[in-house]
């Protein structure tokens, strides 16, 4: 959330930057609400001061056994007025809070300004696109003989858009997850296993509520009102909510594996079928809390750890610096890591690394304290390290052989219980 005090100082600059993310944003209605609220708070304080004065006068009159009728009538009117003003203040505070809660984070100055993802900037490439001397297949065509996934039975269980990994597909998925977690632990990230269901206030803190409520899965009955996490970022951001951390304990760098859940499950057409976009997917998350001064360094640490995963698998990818209009709600800077998928003839995002500055920390009230200084908000950073569904597609499609088998990268051999180098069709 943005600080209304900072918005007051330079509303034109805030509006200009916010409109690079969403051109429909207007600051003036928010400032008008803020002004009305502050004016009303001044009036109610005056009313309460008058009430206190009159109460003292009534006390003195009663000591002298004098009539208090004149003051009593005014006191009754003041009590009624204060009650009305307090209700109005609460109403205005809720309106102002909501108005601020749907404003996105400010982009950093280095971010390219454009509403279109077509203007994202490629800042790095690793490896080269594979070339095939035979007609190559997409992951669904490969799966017809390999039998790694069973989408028909998954649909029987849960409906369309849900994955089911079978036989060697399940083992390969688990190998990928262990490989990624080992990589990130080696790079200084502490592994945790967070809950998959979180409270509404935790979703608010990470920036998922109120704006994205319709995109979330939730349970809401007489005992529970909880949301399934769309990413473990939501849970880890809540880990230190309402806490004041000590500067010497920063940065805090976490990694976790969780299933993730989202409502939108792909457009029609072959490119979005299979594992490309599903309601449930597995992801290894990177999440850090740091001081503002250290967040650029931590950002690079997270990006490098995510890239190391893909480099170990020898997959061709590129890093794209996102434009202001293509960044997420909470992000001030985002680099997407996009891997090449031959079967789709395009790049797909497998990791998105973002610096959210103090935006989430302000919503979740996560602060840190320097010695002898007033507590200030931390910076939060998150990234996929990485999501396995599209990574699995990349691994299968980029390593396919002419006979329909798959060359399994060497970094995964130790996780497969045996020295499997070629995944043979069934």
CA separation, residue 309 to residues 315, 351, 419 (Å): 9, 11, 20
At 40-54, the pLDDT tens digits run 999 999 999 999 998
Catalytic residue among 273, 277, 363, 367: 277
At 95-153, the pLDDT tens digits run 999 999 999 999 999 999 999 999 999 999 999 999 999 999 999 999 999 999 999 99
Domain ranges of the chain: 4-101, 117-423
Domain spanning 4-101, CATH class:
mainly alpha
Active site (annotated) includes residue 263: no
Catalytic residue among 262, 273, 362, 367: 262
Say if residue 178's pLDDT is above 60: yes
Structure tokens at 269: 């057409």
Active site (annotated) includes residue 367: no
Active site (annotated) includes residue 349: yes
**How far is 26 from 85, CA to CA, in rounded Å?**
27
**How far is 337 from 352, CA to CA, in rounded Å?**
6
**How far is 154 from 160, CA to CA, in rounded Å?**
7
Which of the 8 DSSP states describes residue 285?
E
pLDDT at 173: 97
Task: Say if CB 331 and CB 355 are below 8 A apart.
Answer: yes
Catalytic residue among 171, 351, 390, 397: 390
pLDDT at 370: 93
Task: Say if CB 17 and CB 2 are below 8 A apart.
Answer: no
Instruction: Give ∠ CA 284-285-290 in degrees, rounded to 5.
Output: 155
At 139-155, the pLDDT tens digits run 999 999 999 999 999 99
**How far is 224 from 144, CA to CA, in rounded Å?**
42
At 357-377, the pLDDT tens digits run 999 999 999 999 998 899 999
Catalytic residue among 15, 36, 243, 349: 349
Task: Say if CB 160 and CB 278 are below 8 A apart.
Answer: no
pLDDT at 270: 43
252-272: average pLDDT: 77
Task: Say if CB 283 and CB 387 are below 8 A apart.
Answer: yes
Q: Is the peptide bond before 210 cis (omega within 30 degrees of 0)?
A: yes
Catalytic residue among 352, 354, 384, 389: 352
Active site (annotated) includes residue 352: yes
Which CATH superfamily does the domain covering 117-423 fall into? Bira Bifunctional Protein; Domain 2 (3.30.930.10)
pLDDT at 215: 92
Task: Say if CB 335 and CB 353 are below 8 A apart.
Answer: yes
């Amino acid at each position: 959330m943005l600080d209304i005090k900072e918005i007051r100082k330079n509303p034109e600059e805030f509006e200009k930057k916010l409109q690079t993310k969403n051109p429909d944003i207007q600051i003036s209605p928010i400032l008008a609400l803020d002004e009305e609220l502050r004016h009303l708070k001044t009036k109610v304080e005056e009313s309460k001061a008058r009430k206190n004065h009159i109460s003292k006068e009534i006390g003195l009159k009663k000591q002298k056994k004098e009539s208090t009728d004149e003051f009593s009538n005014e006191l009754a009117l003041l009590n009624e007025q204060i009650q009305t003003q307090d209700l109005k203040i609460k109403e205005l505070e809720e309106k102002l809070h909501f108005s601020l809660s749907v404003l996105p984070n400010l982009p950093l100055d280095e971010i390219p300004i454009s509403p279109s993802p077509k203007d994202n900037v490629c800042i790095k490439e690793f490896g080269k696109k594979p070339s095939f001397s035979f007609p190559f297949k997409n992951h669904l065509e490969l799966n017809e003989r390999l039998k790694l996934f069973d989408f028909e039975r998954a649909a029987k269980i849960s409906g369309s858009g849900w994955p089911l990994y079978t036989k060697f597909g399940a083992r390969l998925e688990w190998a990928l997850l262990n490989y990624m977690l080992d990589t990130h632990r080696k790079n200084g990230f502490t592994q945790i296993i967070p809950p998959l269901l979180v409270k509404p206030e935790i979703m608010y803190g990470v920036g998922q509520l109120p704006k994205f409520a319709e995109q979330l899965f939730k349970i809401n009955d007489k005992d529970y009102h909880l949301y399934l996490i769309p990413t473990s970022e939501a849970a880890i951001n809540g880990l230190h909510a309402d806490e004041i951390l000590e500067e010497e304990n920063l940065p805090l760098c976490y990694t976790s594996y969780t299933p993730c859940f989202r409502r939108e499950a792909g457009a029609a057409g072959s490119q979005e079928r299979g594992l490309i976009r599903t309601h449930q997917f597995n992801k290894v998350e990177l999440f850090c809390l740091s001081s503002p001064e250290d967040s650029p360094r931590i950002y690079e640490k997270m990006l490098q750890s995510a890239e190391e995963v893909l480099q170990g698998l020898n997959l061709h990818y590129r890093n794209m610096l996102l434009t202001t209009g293509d960044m997420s709600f909470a992000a001030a800077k985002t680099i997407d890591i996009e891997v090449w998928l031959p079967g789709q003839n395009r790049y797909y995002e497998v990791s998105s690394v973002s610096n959210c500055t103090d935006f989430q920390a302000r919503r979740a009230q996560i602060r840190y304290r320097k010695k002898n200084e007033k507590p200030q908000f931390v910076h939060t950073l998150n990234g996929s390290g990485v999501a396995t569904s599209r990574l699995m597609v990349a691994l299968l499609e980029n390593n396919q052989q002419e006979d329909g088998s798959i060359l399994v990268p060497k970094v995964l051999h130790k996780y497969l219980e045996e020295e499997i180098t070629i995944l043979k069709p069934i």
